[in-house]
């Protein structure tokens, strides 16, 4: 199975795409053709455990090269680190309505990034083997809060790898920062960057593109790869949970094979929702994919008007992992709706970089209208939605999921107006444990403000009777190891990474 660049010119195998992360011309790797999962295969998948389902989906892209048995083994290993019997429980929040919540946050770092970042190190290791790459791999990631921790934890002390994470100094929640700065391991590095996530992501992309920087790394026998959702190896494991949610609805008798299901996805970099769209391309009966944004509603405007315009203020919100204006993975969608026109996709990305906007054609817009629904929630809409569901059904969710829930309500109204009898299930993807954002969640559910995150955890525990994750409680007793802060500047970012790689920058020893 081959992968091609959204900006043309390059054709590689799956293993090469995973090792490389990004195409040489800055494009993203996409499958040359979407593999299909048939209804018969789905019936067989219904009997499988989650790790088996995930391995089956991954196998459609990677089994030829990495081996079906290997994929099964690594999915078993990766998801055994999740809490509870089912790594991705589908919860019916109330008795009657069509609302389901797919909880994707039961992994080691309490956010949905674990779904892929627990698997990626294994995919990368084998991909290096089969492509004959012996260099040390440096995983370089920009994070809006959750990718960083999940990547650090996933690659911690994995032989042959190092992992370095840049986070926006003022753009992450307290718990997220603490989770990253106390990270254990001998191959990890964390630094804050002045500015917001877009600055941070641009800086990292520029490092990937810098020949000088890559040459300096190569001198040390090091090569870059990415843990952001621009890497296909990060995207692929995310496709699996869409299938799994559908199969859970099927086996519990809520739907019949072939019935459509809608998904609501709290969106930032467009990776999670793109995986849902890939699932649809592979044959999953998906109705609409609902793209939920917070106040940074570039995507909601894009779905409404067909113009992607980042000339606007950046807002910091209670859902920091969605505070993004430039959604990287949209490039993969643009590539598809343009009829796989690489030249046009490259031009649009150039327009985005230079003119800060691009627009799509009426034909392309019609495809989006058919497949997607875009909405956004202000902070008070989010709080209201979280409160309402907690008050009525006793279900507590995090602030990102709160955005999705607020947009779910808009979507449900829209759907009912269009077709009064529409009652297909709607699955809201829940992307983080509420305890990761304890102060904001406590405020939404009870109106109480507390100054300290750990006090927030305690109060939230009293209020909801939900068990707080041990990994978050333990943070209280840890001192940060990483204090590096850099300007939003390519030279400075390169310098600290080279310092880390050559062992000149040494963090305080762990524990
Ligand atoms: C990363 C993240 C999102 C957004 O996912 P994308 O793939 O970037 O669209 C939403 N919620 C949480 C909690 C996240 O960590």
Return the HEC string of 97-109: CCEEEEECCCCCC
Q: How far, in Å, from the CA of 499 to the mean position of ligand 1?
A: 30
Closest residue by Cα to atom 2, ligand 1, is 321
What's the pLDDT score for residue 56? 98
Q: How far, in Å, from the CA of 321 to the mean position of ligand 1?
A: 5
What's the pLDDT score for residue 510? 61
User: One digit per residue, pLDDT tens: the chain, 511 residues?
Assistant: 999 999 999 999 999 999 999 898 889 999 999 999 999 999 999 999 999 999 999 999 999 999 999 999 999 999 999 998 999 999 999 877 889 999 999 999 999 999 999 999 999 999 999 999 999 999 999 998 899 999 999 999 999 999 999 999 988 999 999 999 999 999 999 999 999 998 998 999 899 989 999 999 999 999 999 999 899 999 999 999 999 999 999 999 999 999 999 999 999 999 999 999 999 999 999 999 999 999 999 999 999 999 999 999 999 999 999 999 999 999 999 999 999 999 999 999 999 999 999 999 999 999 999 999 999 999 999 999 999 999 999 999 999 999 999 999 999 999 999 988 888 999 999 999 999 999 999 999 999 999 999 999 999 999 999 999 999 999 999 999 999 999 999 999 999 999 999 988 777 766 5
Q: How far, in Å, from the CA of 135 to the mean position of ligand 1?
A: 31
* Minimum-distance ligand 1 atom for the alpha carbon of 401: 11
How does DSSP assign 15-83, residue by residue? HHHHHH-S-TTS--EEESS-----HHHHHHHHTS-HHHHHHHHHHHHHHHHH-HHHHHHHHHHHHHTSS
**Ligand 1 pocket test, candidate residues 175, 228, 267, most atoms within 8 A of CB:** 267
Q: How far is CA 255 from the centre of its chain?
A: 27
User: Which tokens go with 253?
Assistant: 């008798």
Tell me the three state secondary structure of residue 92: strand
Residues 94, 392: Cα–Cα separation, whole Å: 9
CB 27 within 8 A of CB 341: no
Among residues 85, 77, 114, which one has the least CA distance to residue 237? 114
* Minimum-distance ligand 1 atom for the alpha carbon of 271: 7
* Minimum-distance ligand 1 atom for the alpha carbon of 105: 13
Q: How far, in Å, from the CA of 453 to the mean position of ligand 1?
A: 21
Torsion of CA 86, 149, 184, 84, to 10 degrees: -10
Q: Which residues pair with 162 in a beta bridge?
A: 138
User: Which tokens go with 301?
Assistant: 């405007």
**C-alpha pair distances (Å), 76 with each of 51, 99, 151, 179, 205:** 5, 29, 19, 25, 32
Ligand 1 pocket residues where CB is under 6 Å: 111-113, 146, 229, 266-272, 321-322, 400, 431-432
Residues 90, 104: Cα–Cα separation, whole Å: 9
Beta-carbon contacts of residue 23 (< 8 Å; ≥ 6 apart): 5, 6, 7, 9, 10, 29
* Minimum-distance ligand 1 atom for the alpha carbon of 269: 8
The distance in angstroms from the start CA to the end CA of the chain is: 44
Alpha helices in 263-341, H assignment, sequence order: 271-281, 298-305, 330-337
């Amino acid at each position: 199975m081959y992968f091609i660049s959204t900006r043309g010119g390059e054709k590689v195998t799956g293993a090469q795409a995973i090792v490389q992360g990004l195409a040489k011309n800055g494009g993203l790797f996409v499958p040359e053709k979407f593999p299909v999962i048939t209804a018969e295969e789905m019936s067989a998948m219904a009997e499988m455990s989650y790790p088996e389902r995930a391995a089956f989906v991954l196998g459609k892209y990677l089994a030829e090269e990495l081996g079906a048995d290997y994929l099964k083994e690594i999915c078993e290993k990766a998801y055994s680190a999740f809490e509870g019997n089912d790594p991705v429980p589908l919860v019916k929040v109330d008795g009657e309505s069509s609302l389901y919540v797919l909880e994707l946050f039961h992994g080691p770092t309490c956010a949905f990034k674990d779904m892929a970042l627990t698997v990626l190190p294994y995919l990368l290791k084998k991909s290096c083997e089969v492509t004959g790459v012996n260099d040390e791999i440096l995983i370089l990631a920009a994070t809006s809060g959750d990718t960083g921790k999940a990547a650090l934890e996933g690659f911690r002390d994995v032989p042959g790898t190092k992992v370095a994470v840049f986070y926006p100094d003022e753009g992450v929640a307290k718990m997220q920062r603490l989770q990253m700065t106390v990270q254990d391991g001998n191959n990890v590095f964390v630094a804050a960057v002045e500015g917001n996530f877009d600055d941070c992501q641009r800086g990292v992309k520029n490092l990937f593109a810098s020949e000088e920087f890559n040459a300096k790394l190569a001198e040390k026998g090091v090569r870059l790869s990415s843990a952001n959702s621009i890497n296909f190896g990060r995207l692929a494991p995310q496709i699996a949970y869409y299938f799994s949610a559908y199969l859970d609805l099927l086996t519990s008798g809520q739907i019949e094979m072939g019935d459509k299901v809608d998904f609501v996805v709290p969106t930032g970099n467009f990776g999670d929702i793109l995986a849902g769209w890939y699932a649809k391309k592979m044959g999953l009966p998906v109705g609409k994919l609902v793209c939920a944004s917070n106040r940074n509603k570039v995507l909601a405007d894009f779905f409404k008007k067909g113009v992607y315009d980042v000339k606007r203020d950046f807002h910091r919100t209670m859902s920091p992992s969605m505070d993004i204006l430039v959604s990287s993975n949209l490039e993969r969608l643009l590539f598809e709706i343009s009829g796989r026109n690489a030249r046009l996709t490259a031009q649009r990305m150039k327009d985005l970089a230079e003119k800060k906007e691009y627009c799509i054609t009426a034909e392309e817009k019609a495809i989006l209208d058919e497949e997607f629904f875009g909405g956004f929630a202000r902070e008070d809409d989010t709080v209201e939605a979280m409160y309402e569901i907690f008050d009525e059904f006793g279900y507590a969710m995090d602030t990102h999921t709160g955005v999705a829930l607020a947009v779910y309500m808009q979507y449900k109204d829209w759907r009912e107006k269009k077709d009064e009898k529409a009652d297909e299930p709607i699955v809201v993807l829940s992307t983080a444990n509420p305890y990761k954002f304890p102060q904001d969640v406590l405020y939404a559910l009870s109106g109480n403000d507390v100054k300290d995150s750990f006090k927030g955890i305690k109060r939230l525990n009293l209020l909801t009777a939900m068990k707080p994750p041990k990994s978050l409680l333990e943070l209280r007793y840890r001192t940060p190891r990483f204090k590096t802060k850099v300007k939003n500047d390519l030279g400075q970012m390169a310098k600290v990474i080279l310092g880390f790689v050559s062992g000149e920058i040494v963090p305080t020893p762990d524990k």
